[in-house]
Amino acid sequence: MSTSTRRARERANTRERIIEAALRVLETEGVAALTIRRIATDVEYSAPVVYQHFANKDALVLELVAHGHRLMLSEFRRAAQEPDTDRRTMRIASQYVRFAGEHPHLFQVMNDPMVDADERRRVAEPVIDVLKELLTTWSAAHDVVLADFDQACEILWGTLYGIASLSYLGSVGNDRARYLAEQALRAILLGWRTETPANGRPASS
């Protein structure tokens, strides 16, 4: 009986080592170097061993995506300690773009259309929840009633992603992109505050 638990522990351990190796390769050498054989070599196994822990490469990559979102979430939580609501918003926006700059290859995989859309949305949910919470306290602090809360949240999320992509797609530097993100959010939020509150926009499903 005790041996089986030990074996399970060892299994989980090598599984974790595979993920770590994959993450290391991805972050240091990019997505093109992320190969089953390469990862197996790094953990000193033969390639088929990987398939004892992951159904296929996509499943392994999904694990990296989940790791990336956990990492992003932890940095968001650090930025969310800022007490002032407006400053907190700016810091989170800045942090999102910074993440894209500091982990470009990871960020790329986290938003790769090749990974399953449902799975991606699933692992991204906790991060988006932080954004929702942020928007909730913001709208409460400024007495703004948003016509469609989820919609507003998606606008923020999409905007952050777009401007972060500006950076890692090579058009603008990362520090510049951070500033752009802050300014874009500032403009959007200012726009929402300025809207006539009685303005009943259609919810559009």
Partner DNA sequence: TTAGGAAATCTAACGACGTTAGGAACGGGT
Partner DNA sequence: ACCCGTTCCTAACGTCGTTAGATTTCCTAA
Interface with DNA includes 36 (CB under 7 A)? yes
SS (H, E, C) 41-95: HHCCCCHHHHHHCCCCHHHHHHHHHHHHHHHHHHHHHHHCCCCCHHHHHHHHHHH
* Residues in 135-154 that interact with a second copy by CB under 8 A: 151, 154
Which of 194, 196, 199, 200 is the binder for a second copy (CB under 8 A)?
Answer: 194
Name the residue type at position 12: A
Binding map of DNA across residues 4-33, x = CB under 7 A, - = no contact: x--x--xx--x-------------------
Total residues in contact with DNA, by rule CB under 7 A: 23
* Residues in 172-191 that interact with a second copy by CB under 8 A: 172-173, 175-177, 179-180, 183-184, 186-191
48 binds, among a second copy, DNA, none (CB under 5 to 8 A by kind): DNA
Question: Looking at beta carbons only, is 15 or 186 nearer to a second copy?
Answer: 186
Q: Which residue has the tokens 């061993």?
A: 49
Stretch that binds a second copy, among 19-27, 49-57, 115-123, 136-144 (CB under 8 A): 115-123
Cα(30)–Cα(42) distance, rounded to whole angstroms? 15
34 binds, among a second copy, DNA, none (CB under 5 to 8 A by kind): DNA
Which of 49, 73, 115, 130 is the binder for DNA (CB under 7 A)?
Answer: 49
Helix (H) or strand (E) holding 168: helix 149-168
End-to-end CA distance of the chain: 55
- Cβ-proximal residues to 5 (8 Å cutoff; 6+ apart), any chain: none
175 Cα distance to chain centroid: 19
Interface with a second copy includes 118 (CB under 8 A)? yes
